[in-house]
């Protein structure tokens, strides 16, 4: 599949500069499968009906939502633990392992007899499977595209963010046609087959390969370009600035995702239209990844991060002061887009600041910020609703967090001048 070290390298029978785009397409589809977790809301009502009507168990909507939170938590935990094995076992094997575990989680979900069993078979097993596989296409894209890393990573992750727009509709059809438990089974089998097949061509470039005609940019005065390992990364202030900003970006975005529909109905939008708008917002979540990835390449990670926080702050201010339908649509489209954007900014910044020789392990630690935001965001939104009586109280908090993120990005998200020994 690959030959040579530089200009003679080929992928899929094409010069590597062209063939590497096929790897992006494969990663996009893999992430489309993995990102089906964002369609969980489609399963909530059918599962509630199944447990109460078929099994005679009394369950609440919150209990049926819990597998979503468990899934995201184990997704975030497994991601950093997998990093070093991507290097030792290779991207193909790791993706296959993660894909099989993901599929098994979905298949076993079709056999549960209590909602608590879903926490384990879907939340734990499925979440670990996605956490294992998720970072591989990102690492592959980062290695093959040192010249266009932001665009490549953003396109690879487009599938994860855009997944709900496609898989939610497929899930809705399958549930109506075959029932919710058979839908779990169908998804699981399809995921195993697809991910295993798509993983087979995944590989890193040969040592020393670079795109024809591309040279590594010279560092600015006082800066050093360095391939550092995870331990060295953890001793830089840049890492902590990136981690905090990533956490705030995900916290704000996931708070918005968790309250999109109830916020819409709260300001007078009809429930059916609010549901359709959630699908519309998912387009921005997916599209934000390549857009912000390209901006990161052009503007650098620090400036792109600051831009995202300005957009988050303005959207939150508008929702807080003028909660009308048009403002809601515009503000939530931006918030969803910025969440998708951070899932391109952070992995691109990791490669730009700390190199790619230990990229999977480095980004695995950075990605813990997403997990923290995924857990804290919806919980904070619920707490604010309980204490204030409405979801509008969320937006002053998001505005304040965006201001903090802007300050942190300005002072700490800078290319490290050196790596502590």
Q: Which domains are delineated in the chain?
A: 10-199 (1.20.1250.20), 230-412 (1.20.1250.20)
More confident of the two residues 16 and 330: 330
Measured CA to CA, the distance from residue 306 to residue 309 in angstroms comes to 5
Q: Which helix (H) or strand (E) holds 11?
A: strand 10-11
Question: CA-to-CA distance for 259 and 321, rounded, in angstroms?
Answer: 18
* CA angle, residues 6, 9, 14, in degrees to nearest 5: 140
What tokens were used for 418? 């050196």
Rounded percentage of the chain residues whose pLDDT exceeds 90: 46
Q: What is the mean pLDDT of the chain?
A: 87
Task: Give the mean model confidence (pLDDT) for residues 208-225.
Answer: 66
Report the C-alpha gap between 309 and 249 in whole angstroms: 8
pTM of the model: 0.75
pLDDT of residue 206 exceeding 90, the answer is: no
Is residue 6 scored above 70 in pLDDT? Answer: no
Q: Which helix or strand (DSSP H or E) is residue 10 part of?
A: strand 10-11
Q: What are phi and psi of 62, to 5 degrees?
A: -65, -40
What is the mean predicted confidence (pLDDT) over 157-178? 86
What pLDDT, on the 0 to 100 scale, is given for residue 296?
92
In angstroms, the CA 66 to CA 71 distance is 9
Q: Which tens digit of pLDDT belongs to each residue from 365-389? A: 898 898 888 778 877 887 787 788 8
> For 258-302, how does the pLDDT look when each residue is reduced to its tens digit (9 = 90+)?
788 778 888 998 877 877 787 788 889 888 888 998 899 899 999
pLDDT at 227: 61
Q: 86-103: per-residue pLDDT in tens?
A: 888 999 999 999 999 999
The 10s digit of each residue's pLDDT in 178-194 is: 999 999 999 999 999 99
141/11 Cα distance (integer angstroms):
14
């Amino acid at each position: 599949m690959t030959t040579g070290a530089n200009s003679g390298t080929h992928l899929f029978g094409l010069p590597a500069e062209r063939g590497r785009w096929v790897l992006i397409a494969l990663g996009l589809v893999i992430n489309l499968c993995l990102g089906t977790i964002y369609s969980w809301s489609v399963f909530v009502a059918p599962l509630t009906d199944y447990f109460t009507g078929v099994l005679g168990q009394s369950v609440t909507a919150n209990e049926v939502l819990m597998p979503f939170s468990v899934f995201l938590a184990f997704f975030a935990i497994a991601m950093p633990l997998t990093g070093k094995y991507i290097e030792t076992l290779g991207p193909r094997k790791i993706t296959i392992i993660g894909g099989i575990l993901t599929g098994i989680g979905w298949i076993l979900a079709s056999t549960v007899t209590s909602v608590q069993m879903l926490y384990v078979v879907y939340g734990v097993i499925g979440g670990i499977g996605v956490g294992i596989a998720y970072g591989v296409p990102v690492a592959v894209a980062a290695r093959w595209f040192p010249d266009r890393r932001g665009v490549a990573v953003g396109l690879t992750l487009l599938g994860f963010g855009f997944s709900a727009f496609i898989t939610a509709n497929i899930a809705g059809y399958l549930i109506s046609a075959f029932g919710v438990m058979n839908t779990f089974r169908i998804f699981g089998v399809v995921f195993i087959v697809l991910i295993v097949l798509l993983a087979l061509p995944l590989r890193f470039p040969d040592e020393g390969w670079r795109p024809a005609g591309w040279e590594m940019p010279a560092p600015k005065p006082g800066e050093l370009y360095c391939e550092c390992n995870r331990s060295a990364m953890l001793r830089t202030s840049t890492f902590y600035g990136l981690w905090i900003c990533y956490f705030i970006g995900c916290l704000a975005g996931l708070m918005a995702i968790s309250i999109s529909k109830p916020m819409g109905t709260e300001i007078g939008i009809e429930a059916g239209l609010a549901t359709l708008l959630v699908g519309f917002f998912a387009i921005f979540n997916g599209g934000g990844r390549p857009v912000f990835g390209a901006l990161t390449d052009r503007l650098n990670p620090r400036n792109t991060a600051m831009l995202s926080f300005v957009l988050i702050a303005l959207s939150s201010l508008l929702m807080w002061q003028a909660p009308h339908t048009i403002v809601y649509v515009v503000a939530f489209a931006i918030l969803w887009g910025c969440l998708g954007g951070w899932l391109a900014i952070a992995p691109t910044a990791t490669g730009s600041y700390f190199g790619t020789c230990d990229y999977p392990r480095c980004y695995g630690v950075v990605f813990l910020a997403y997990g923290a935001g995924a857990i804290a965001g919806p919980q904070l939104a619920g707490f604010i609703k309980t204490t204030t009586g409405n979801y509008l109280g969320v937006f002053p908090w998001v505005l304040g967090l965006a201001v903090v993120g802007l300050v942190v990005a300005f002072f700490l998200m800078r290319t490290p001048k050196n790596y502590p020994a």
